[in-house]
Amino acid sequence: ETGVTQSPTHLIKTRGQQVTLRCSSQSGHNTVSWYQQALGQGPQFIFQYYREEENGRGNFPPRFSGLQFPNYSSELNVNALELDDSALYLCASSLDGGRGTEAFFGQGTRLTVV
């Protein structure tokens, strides 16, 4: 167990709706990164939050947004859901911006868009 927890574990949404996914980082970690893993693929980097600021972003549209709170937990919000957004969403917890440090993943939230 990594100590990184995500909620909910499963979610079904309708195309066009909005969704919020949550992540609690490992104790002592101040950095949370979000990844999208489509079926049969490796995780793809969405963005990273370090000390409540977005610290870097991958190739995802602006309808993917996030927050980090003072306790370093984080949210991923996706607006205007599309069918291709169906995937396992993973958060990873690390220390001090994460550069060159170990990243530990939660169990993921499986999002299905119908």
Partner 1 sequence: QKEVEQDPGPLSVPEGAIVSLNCTYSNSAFQYFMWYRQYSRKGPELLMYTYSSGNKEDGRFTAQVDKSSKYISLFIRDSQPSDSATYLCAMERGTGFQKLVFGTGTRLLVSP
Residues that bind partner 1 (CB under 8 A): 2, 4, 6, 31, 33, 35, 40-45, 48, 50, 55-56, 58, 88, 90, 92, 94, 97-108, 110
Q: Which is nearer to partner 1, 13 or 110 (CB)?
A: 110
CB of 60 to partner 1, least distance (A): 12
d(CA 32, CA 47): 9
User: Is 78 in contact with 16 (CB distance < 8 Å)?
Assistant: no
Residues in the chain: 114
In this structure, how many other beta carbons lie within 10 angstroms of the beta carbon of residue 110? 16
Q: Which is nearer to partner 1, 15 or 112 (CB)?
A: 112
User: Is 108 in contact with 7 (CB distance < 8 Å)?
Assistant: no
CB of 96 to partner 1, least distance (A): 10
